[in-house]
Amino acid sequence: MDGLLGTIGTAAAVFAGTNIDDVIVLTVLFLSSRAGGRPRPWQIVAGQYAGIAVLVAVSAVAALGLTVVPDEWAGLLGLVPLGLGLWSLAGALRAARSGQETAPAVASGLLSVAGVTVANGADNISVYTPVFRTIGVASGLVTVSVFAVLTAFWCAAGAWLGSHRKVVAAVERSGHWLVPAVFIVIGAVIVLESGVLGRLLAFG
């Protein structure tokens, strides 16, 4: 029993420690959904689960000694939220020139939400891999179960934070600028903090 509780506690700590920033992403997505109708709430939840599942699967495979994506290049995944943010910002600029309003949708469907989740959690792989490498199958299944439960909690927290009327009203007014800006910043931080730009320059 003590072993089970220890596994649950470790899994919860690992998930919480590596996914704090996901709450911000989820909040922005739910704000976008409430203010502009996209992505739909079910797409946010399903996309989050799909993204976390990809991260866990890649970590499990890496724990077996198979390198899927070299750690030094994982920062390139930051181009996903960066690209989505720039694309949405370009749409907002075009709409502003034509005098139209545009919905603050950066990630507009399940796949794009999953992509942002994977990109934002790419660095999680370096934490999850040694965890899966050092625990058995039973503890691994418990860990994955804890991750699944906490993913639901994370989605609920993002939905709650993104449900305040004043915040939603603010996003309705300026979300076509604010939401893309948030994703651009997230993507830029991922790329810059990973040091991948320096490696690309050195490679060139």
Give pLDDT tens digits for 87-112. Answer: 777 777 777 677 655 544 566 688 88
**pTM of the full predicted structure?**
0.69
In this structure, which long-range contacts are made by residues 142-147, counting pairs with CB atoms below 8 Å and at least 24 apart in sequence?
142/4, 142/7, 142/8, 142/11, 143/7, 143/10, 143/11, 143/14, 144/56, 146/8, 146/11, 146/12, 146/15, 147/11, 147/15, 147/52, 147/56
Q: Residue 135 corresponds to which amino acid?
A: I
C-alpha 138/C-alpha 49 separation (Å) is 21
Question: pLDDT of 108-154, one tens digit each?
Answer: 688 888 888 887 777 777 778 878 877 778 888 999 999 999 999 99
C-alpha 162/C-alpha 144 separation (Å) is 27
Handedness of CA 8, 14, 18, 20 (dihedral sign): positive
Residue 107 pLDDT = 65
Residue 1 pLDDT = 63
Question: pLDDT of 49-97, one tens digit each?
Answer: 999 999 999 888 877 765 555 556 666 667 777 777 787 777 777 776 7
For the chain, give every domain's residue range.
2-197
